[in-house]
Amino acid sequence: MTDHVTLTHAGKSYRLPLVIGSQGELAIFANTGSCKSAITFLDGEKGILRYRGIPVEQLAERSTFKETAYLLINGELPTQKALTRFSVLLNDHSLVHEDMKIFYQSFPRSSHPMGILSAMVNALRSFYPELQRLEEEIDITVTRLLSKVRTMAAMSYKISRGHTVVYPRPDLTYCANFLNMMFDSPVRPYEIDADVVKALNVFLILHADHEQNCSTAAVRVVGSARVNLYAAISAGIAALWGPLHGGANQAVIETLDAIARHGNLRELVARARDRSDPFRLPGFGHRIYRTYDPRARIMKRMAHVLLEKLAISDPLLDVARELEEIALKDDYFIDHHLYPNVDFYSGIVLRAIGIPTNMFTVMFAIGRLPGWIAQWKESMEDPEWRLCRPRQLYTGPQERPYIPIEERS
């Protein structure tokens, strides 16, 4: 049974669904805040996204991923001295224990990179000292994760292709180092392009945090049991793996590729309009945004800049443009707030950089890592910390007796 209650506060009234369970208990279901946080502000009605108060548009244009990561984790933009120390720590902890290669090589070649990454991040706890509540140890563990996850992602790609692992270089920036570890080889040295490095920085910045989404909530819930940071992040990676969350950017590319091959764009749009059809167009709409995703505008510009610079003629971008044009003029899409989200163009950017499709969600995880760390750190430092233990609304049968098996019909 579902009814409603009206809550009045400061002259405004809110109508909330009231649900009654099978035992007569009551529960009010609404968008209830799960925690207090000073990290990210998101306004879905106005299309606003800010990290620690700074608009994401400014960070994407003027900052780097490394600097943005520092901002999220520490609360303020770094001074030059602090950024230099942060860079030194990232460089010092960028290598992965050689024994971890054996683990990588033991996974079946068909294993998804996200499953491997989640397992290997959890395994880091066995190779490196347990996190202590000392500030220095926290700094080391945080930078260890930020640096090693990048190295581990590139390592998994190289091993999956049967290629020699490329080690990080101390003379390269965070993003340039990752690209070099991914694509450099003894027979074809990788040429670092400043525009490609910028595109990767922007991609990672736009994915760095997004309030209490599925994976961030998973990090907080698991972390509330006071597990180590590696275990909490591993849980976040597992949650991000889902096609309704981090896997959406891969789904967008697969859909665009299918449209390019079969020419069924109009058919898919018609299916997306049909309420009786469970099909949903990947890359359109968002649980929070009721207007254009601010990250999508930035990623769209970056896609055009990158493809023009690299002189790439990508039929998937042509399909994406046509699909967006149809959706932005279609009454159904407009009425249901089905605007392109960040996943719609991020796949195009990753594809232009050369990232294989099955690594797209891993890229998302690298970007979201500082947000997860910041959220975990904030919850650990909360003086009102409590173990996360939500309640439920019971809808099962009322009390009934146990019936012996010989008497059951």
**Rounded Cα gap, residues 24 and 254, in angstroms:** 47
* Active-site residue, 93 included: no
User: Backbone phi, then psi, for 86, in 5-degree steps?
Assistant: -60, -45
Single-letter amino acid code for the residue at 397: P
Catalytic residue among 184, 209, 293, 343: 343
Catalytic residue among 93, 207, 210, 286: 286
Residue 286 CA, chain-centre distance (Å), reads 14
**Rounded Cα gap, residues 88 and 144, in angstroms:** 11
Residue pair 217/224 in contact (Cβ under 8 Å)? The answer is no
Place of tokens 């997306």: 272
**Rounded Cα gap, residues 197 and 319, in angstroms:** 25
Q: What is the largest CA-CA distance in the chain?
A: 78
b or e along 63-72 (b: 16 or more beta carbons within 10 Å of the residue's beta carbon)? bbbbbbbbbb
Residue 141 CA, chain-centre distance (Å), reads 21
**Rounded Cα gap, residues 220 and 224, in angstroms:** 6
b or e along 227-247 (b: 16 or more beta carbons within 10 Å of the residue's beta carbon)? bbbbbbbbbbbbbbbeeebbb
* Active-site residue, 4 included: no
Positions annotated as catalytic residues are: 286, 343
